[in-house]
Amino acid sequence: MGRTLDNKKEVVADLKELLSDSQLAIVIDYQGLSVAQITDLRNRLRPTGTVCKVTKNTLMRRAVEDDENWQPITEFLVGSSAFMLVKDDVGGAIRAYQDFQKATKKTDFKGGVMQGQALSQDQVKAIADLPSKEELIGQIAGSINSIATKLAVGVNEVPASLGRCVNEVPGSLGRVLQALSAQKEGGG
């Protein structure tokens, strides 16, 4: 039994909502995957905030027809398509898919779309190699912390150096007086 018109409209509305929350859409050919393998892929993607949808190309085409950001996806709508809609962790989602692809060797990467641009497999892999948001925040925080530490050490060194100089004055004065008295005794 096929889908009713109302059911198709619900699917298109659901796809539109998912796309509006997504940063990246990846299209793969899922032909040859069992239900268990697709479930495994979904389970691998879930921790990254990614939804894997298997739907007809015509329904996806209708979902993106009014949205310029996602229209480039139409060039990948050929054959059996599964859509990975990435919300949060783009790099983590791509790495999870790559791990799945290595394990099953059954899916083919068709393409991706991000910010209105169609992406090749190499471009998507390059995105996966970028550090995550949390890693970038950690790197920036570490840099800021090291600057503050160096500044604090430098600021602390000024009074310490001044203190060493002040402590050295009486000793230097004592040596000068001793040298003068030795000179007077020897010469006088």
117-143 pLDDT, tens digit each: 888 888 888 877 777 677 778 888 888
Average pLDDT over residues 54-83: 90
Give yes or no for residue 150 having a pLDDT over 80. no
State percent of the chain over pLDDT 90: 30
Model confidence at 171, in pLDDT bands (50, 70, 90)? confident
Rounded CA separation 158/156 (Å): 6
H helices, E strands: number in the chain: 6, 5
Mean pLDDT (whole number) for 88-114: 88
Q: Kindly report the pTM of this predicted structure.
A: 0.67
Smallest CA-to-CA distance from 106 within 41, 32, 53 is with: 32
Banded pLDDT at 105 (limits 50, 70, 90): confident
Termini Cα distance of the chain: 125
More confident site: 159 or 26: 26
Q: What pLDDT score was predicted for residue 128?
A: 76
Q: Does domain 5-130 have CATH number 3.90.1150.10?
A: no
Domain map (residue ranges) of the chain:
5-130, 133-188
Task: Decide if 81 contacts 31 (C-beta within 8 A).
Answer: no
